[in-house]
């Protein structure tokens, strides 16, 4: 058994995301820092033109992941996507959006059949993807569908700065959040997060802190009823299922260091309630982990940053943290199986 546990993980698949964004340079930089950052072998998926545009030449084209681990010491293995046009950093185009989706699709497939140890995805632009007819709100929903998991049963878990936080509703206009919030959705996300805490993070008895929707968690109904009518029943039902969940808790006092020591993940009701504390605490190294999937999928918690793309200004910290966390989670799953 110990021989199996010590076997190396299959190399990780890392997509470049939008080739005109900062994905390619953060992946190249993560590879350059592989020794000092202690990163496991990974290979990139994207167009050669994306690396050429930033002057990165130390990649080695591969046809499938098999030779990646051996190549990794001296070059970044790259599964190439065809690109007819050169890439212009900071200037996205439809061809780049298509490459991003193709890389994502290939990466999911390789992770699902186990030849990639986990999937790490580079940043894309939702506007660019929508412009070419991509039918999903983002990469997360696409990955969930390709894995055959309903969107409600996966969760976005942000990890950084000593905090894990998961938004129950995600890319919704704020005005639609109260209507989208149901006890069932809160429970589904809560289950996915609790399971990930034990399966992916190795926490034996995970504790969830559930944020209220309204200021001061509604102050007993004076500032809104959702905390009493929707969130509290979901917490009670989760507890009845054996999930250790507490709340609803006032969101503003939930994220300082002392509060964070009392739980393993915060379940938040909407995007900014989860993302504000994570990015305030860990802007350059926040990781977005999709939990509830049969594969491990992580992403740096930042966007394409077109404004600085190609100028060697992008911080690779979040990409490095995503690769490292994906490998840790994948190892835990493998060792437990």
| Residues within the interface to a copy of itself (CB under 8 A) | 126-127, 130, 170-178, 213-215, 218-220, 222-226, 251-259, 270-273, 275-281, 283-284
Residue 187: C-alpha distances to residues 220, 278, 327 (Å) = 21, 22, 28
Q: Rounded CA gap, 332 and 323, in Å?
A: 14
- On the 0-12 / 13-18 / 19+ scale of CB atoms within 10 A, 247 is buried
Tokens describing residue 260: 């964070």
Shortest CB 243 distance to a copy of itself, Å? 24
Residue 108: C-alpha distances to residues 15, 54, 246 (Å) = 10, 26, 34
Shortest CB 222 distance to a copy of itself, Å? 7
Collapse the DSSP code of 246 into the 3-class scheme (helix H, G, I; strand E, B; otherwise coil) and give the result. strand
Beta carbon nearer to a copy of itself, 226 or 328: 226
Shortest CB 92 distance to a copy of itself, Å? 14
Shortest CB 138 distance to a copy of itself, Å? 11
Shortest CB 26 distance to a copy of itself, Å? 16
Q: Rounded CA gap, 221 and 228, in Å?
A: 7
Beta carbon nearer to a copy of itself, 98 or 180: 180
Beta carbon nearer to a copy of itself, 119 or 274: 274
Among candidate residues 112, 19, 11, 128, the one with its CA nearest the CA of residue 70: 11
Shortest CB 281 distance to a copy of itself, Å? 7
Beta carbon nearer to a copy of itself, 69 or 305: 305
CB-based contacts of 77: which residues, under 8 Å, 6+ apart? Answer: 11, 42, 43, 44, 59, 60, 61, 62, 65, 67, 68, 71
Beta carbon nearer to a copy of itself, 57 or 311: 311
Beta carbon nearer to a copy of itself, 14 or 156: 156
């Amino acid at each position: 058994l110990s021989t199996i546990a010590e076997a190396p993980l299959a190399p990780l698949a890392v997509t470049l995301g939008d080739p005109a964004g900062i994905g390619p340079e953060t992946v190249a930089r993560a590879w350059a820092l592989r020794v000092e950052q202690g990163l496991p072998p990974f290979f990139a998926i994207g167009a050669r033109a994306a690396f050429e545009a930033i002057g990165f030449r130390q990649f080695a084209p591969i046809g499938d992941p098999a030779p990646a681990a051996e190549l990794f010491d001296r070059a970044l293995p790259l599964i190439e996507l065809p690109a007819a046009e050169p890439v212009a950093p900071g200037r996205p185009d439809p061809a780049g959006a298509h490459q991003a989706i193709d890389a994502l699709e290939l990466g999911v497939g390789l992770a699902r059949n186990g030849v990639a140890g986990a999937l790490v995805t580079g940043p894309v632009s939702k506007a660019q993807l929508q412009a070419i007819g991509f039918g999903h709100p983002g990469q997360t929903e696409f990955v969930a569908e390709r894995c055959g998991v309903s969107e409600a049963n996966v969760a976005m878990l942000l990890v950084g700065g000593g905090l894990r936080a998961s938004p129950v509703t995600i890319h919704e206009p704020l005005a639609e959040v109260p209507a989208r919030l149901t006890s069932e959705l809160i429970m589904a996300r809560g289950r996915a997060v609790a399971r990930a805490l034990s399966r992916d993070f190795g926490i034996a008895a995970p504790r969830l802190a559930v944020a209220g929707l309204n200021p001061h968690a509604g102050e007993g109904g004076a500032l809104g009823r959702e905390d009493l009518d929707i969130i509290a029943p979901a917490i009670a039902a989760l507890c009845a299922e054996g999930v250790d969940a507490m709340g609803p808790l006032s969101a503003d006092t939930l994220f300082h260091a002392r509060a964070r020591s009392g739980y393993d993940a915060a379940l938040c009701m909407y995007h900014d309630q989860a993302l504000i504390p994570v990015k305030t605490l860990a802007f350059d190294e926040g990781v977005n982990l999709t939990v509830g999937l049969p594969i491990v999928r992580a992403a740096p918690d930042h966007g394409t940053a077109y404004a600085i793309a190609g100028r060697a200004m992008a911080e690779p910290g979040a990409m490095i943290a995503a690769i490292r966390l994906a490998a840790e989670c994948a190892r835990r799953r493998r060792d437990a199986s």
